[in-house]
Amino acid sequence: MIMKPLAQSFYERSALELAEALIGKLLVKETSEGRASGIIVETEAYMGAEDRAAHSYGNRRTRRTEIMFGKAGSVYTYQMHTHTLVNVVASEVDTPQAVLIRAVEPVEGLHLMEARRPGRKQVEWTNGPGKLTKALGIAMSDYGSHYTVPPLQIFEGWEDREFEVMTGPRIGIDNTGEARDYPWRFFVKGNPYISR
């Protein structure tokens, strides 16, 4: 059976709705070394102009945030310290919302992940936003591509697996006033790969 990536229309919703909808979906990255993938088990919604924790707060438009103002389903990567983080652009053009993918449960390409995260236990390969990009081979060069086409795509994942989605405050945004308390992080209850 040939898997088809999620359609464009899947992404055309608010970041809050998309962040929850992405839980249980399959994130796939093709590289010259092969294919690596994982089930998305943790996300965070960033609600754009009104959200003090969003890069696009106040409709801030920079070279980095420009893609957030673009088409839903676009890939938004950025550097934080030495890590690349990967986001899914949500909503509609000129409404700069995005969803951070915080953690995945490894599915394919385990040998690649192990080589990219040497000396780590499997549970530590992808249990954080900078770890999963390294393990899957997601890079800054993925910026501006779209999740409906290779090399970075999202597919249906756990269609027949029961799981419970929990919510809580987002992580690492302490200096954002009341925004730090919004329950805009979504994660699979009890999953060992969630970031903490």
Burial of 159 (0-12, 13-18, 19+ CB in 10 A): exposed
Stated length of the chain? 196
3-class DSSP state of 76: strand
pLDDT reported for residue 119: 96
Pick the closest to residue 84 from 123, 134, 34, 26 (CA basis): 134
pLDDT reported for residue 7: 96
Average pLDDT of the residues of the chain: 95
pLDDT reported for residue 122: 97
Q: To the nearest 10°, the Cα dihedral for 117, 151, 143, 5? A: -110
> What percent of the chain shows pLDDT beyond 70?
99
Question: Distances from the Cα of 111 to the Cαs of 67, 118, 135, 157, 191, in angstroms?
Answer: 32, 10, 10, 21, 21
| Bridge partner list, 5 | 155
Give mean pLDDT, residues 133-146.
98
Give 68-91 pLDDT, tens digit per residue.
Answer: 999 999 999 999 889 999 999 999
On whether the CB atoms of residues 42 and 185 are closer than 8 A, the answer is yes
pLDDT reported for residue 179: 86
